Structure 1
């Protein structure tokens, strides 16, 4: 099974695929937000990361669904990420920006690794 068939294989309505994509992406971004906050701030509550993750995921899904400018989506997602980190963790602008930068880096690195793993596994003989 190749990556394309994984993306187009839906048994239900398209809304189910969009909702599933949003839920998985929000969970992924929550995990990476917690990793970033924990590495920068030390011991932090996991529930705060679950408030951070869904917002950039929602922005990504909406902008992708309506084929809007991806650079604007990225800027908006990082801006909201910064606002949520600053509000939820109560840190200075500089420390909040550092958490958001680490969140971005961890998300990119983990995303590339997981996607690469998915591609490698999809090419494995059956």
Structure 2
């Protein structure tokens, strides 16, 4: 999924929302050399929401416009962070997964009440 061009003709795929884009930028800091290849893909990524009501999204990067990251990390998160509520109580985690060197999946895992996780999520995210 993530190595196919993310052109506008792909049904169900849309430009990144501001919330998703900001979450990705927080999880992929500019100063981190390892994550830099993934951060460069954010401008060329699109998203697809799953069937459930959670805020998780699949990601697709236009491989014709940007290459894969130099060090793929398939099967484990390349970046993660904690999610808190307005009172800074821990709610869960955000995890970013990749496939074949491309952004693939942004997961939000909440341990108690999923309805407590209201956008904007980037304001509740603290990268590890």
Report the TM-score range of the alignment, normalised by the length of the smaller protein.
Answer: 0.3 to 0.5
TM-score by length of 2: 0.32
Flag the structure with higher helix content: 1
TM-score by length of 1: 0.33
Flag the structure with higher strand content: 2
